């Protein structure tokens, strides 16, 4: 594993896991990969740590004593747009979680390889620098769709002049769609461009994030102004 470049401050990762041996092992791998790693063992401690240390990525085990992991995820989302990678015990639970719209950016199921988890952390952190979104931003200063303005400066999105707070995943999805407004993207292609290659999971993750995005933009899927569902394909930018 290559260390993070020394010219940049190390990205901060918070590991939330009540199994102490597993937490220690994950933290050791992440530290060795060059990340500044913090470990907590309970939900309330996780929320407090995100408030205090503003990590870039939270690796959140859902099976926690006390405050349930789903609630922890939702609570973090009310004040932070950090990346959240949820760790869950069962593959079939991922579907349920996506349905619950907890606001996670990625899912890893137990048992997992710690190397794979580190790769996922690296993948989310790489997104803004090498993803389609970043490349598109370098080429275009802004895109305008009616009342919606997607700006390159500061990665900002405005709706009728008001700033819209998006999570990094929602932002990357919106930019990917906006950068090629006439293109219909399949869910698989959006996963490849936004989550990065090698993502193994449920394509409904895309639907969940699109639903969040639409809610924040006040966009009705039946009479879409910004994000249109393309039947049998996926999504494209622009009115339906």
- The correct pick among 3, 44, 63, 188 for binding Ca ion (CB under 5 A) is 63
Q: CA-CA distance, 220 to 70, in Å (whole number)?
A: 26
Stretches 53-61, 74-82, 111-119, 192-200: which one binds Ca ion (CB under 5 A)? 53-61
Contact status, residue 171 vs residue 132, Cβ threshold 8 Å: no
Least Å from the CB of residue 88 to Ca ion: 10
Query: CA-CA distance, 89 to 150, in Å (whole number)?
Result: 38
Instruction: Supply the minimum distance, in Å, between the C-beta of residue 17 and Ca ion.
Output: 6
Query: Is the Cβ of residue 18 or residue 192 nearer to Ca ion in the bound state?
Result: 18
> CA 31, CA 37: separation in Å to the nearest integer?
6
> Residue with structure tokens 């995943």?
169
| Nearest distance in Å: CB 160, Ca ion | 43
The window from 52-60, 63-71, 111-119, 121-129 that contacts Ca ion (CB under 5 A) reads 63-71
From the CB of 202, what's the least distance to Ca ion, in Å?
Answer: 22
Q: Which residue is nearest to Ca ion (CB)?
A: 63
Q: Lay out the site mask for Ca ion across 3-32 (x = CB under 5 A, - = otherwise).
A: ---------------x--------------
> Closer CB to Ca ion, residue 26 or residue 227?
26
61 scored as a contact of Ca ion (CB under 5 A):
yes
Pairing of strands 83-88, 106-109: parallel
DSSP annotation of 139: H
Q: Residue 129 corresponds to which tokens in the numbers above?
A: 């620098």
Give me the least distance between CB of 22 and Ca ion, in Å please: 8
Helices (H), the chain: 20-32, 43-53, 69-77, 91-100, 114-130, 132-139, 168-179, 187-190, 204-217
Q: CB under 5 A: which stretch of 2-10, 57-65, 191-199, 219-227 binds Ca ion?
A: 57-65
The residue whose two tokens read 């700033």 is 163
Contact residues: Ca ion, CB under 5 A? 18, 61, 63
């Amino acid at each position: 594993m290559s260390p993070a470049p020394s010219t940049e401050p190390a990205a901060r990762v918070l590991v939330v896991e009540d199994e102490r041996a597993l937490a220690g092992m994950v933290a050791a791998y992440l530290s060795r990969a060059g990340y500044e790693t913090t470990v907590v063992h309970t939900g309330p401690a996780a929320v407090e740590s995100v408030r205090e240390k503003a990590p870039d990525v939270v690796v959140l085990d859902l099976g926690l004593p006390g405050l349930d992991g789903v609630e922890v995820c939702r609570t973090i989302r009310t004040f932070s747009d950090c990346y959240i990678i949820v760790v869950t015990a069962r593959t079939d639970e991922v579907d349920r979680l996506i349905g619950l719209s907890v606001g996670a950016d990625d899912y890893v199921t137990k048992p997992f390889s710690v190397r794979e988890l580190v790769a996922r952390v690296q993948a989310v952190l790489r997104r803004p620098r090498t993803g389609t979104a970043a490349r598109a931003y370098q080429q275009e200063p802004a895109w305008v769709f009616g009342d919606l303005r997607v700006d390159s400066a500061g990665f900002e999105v405005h709706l009728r002049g008001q700033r819209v707070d998006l999570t990094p995943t929602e932002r990357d999805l919106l930019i990917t769609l906006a950068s090629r407004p006439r293109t219909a993207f399949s869910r698989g292609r959006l996963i490849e461009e936004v989550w990065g290659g090698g993502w193994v999971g449920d394509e409904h993750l895309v639907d969940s994030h699109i639903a969040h995005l639409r809610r924040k933009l006040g966009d009705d899927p039946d009479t879409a102004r910004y994000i249109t569902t393309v039947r049998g394909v996926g999504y494209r930018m622009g009115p339906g």
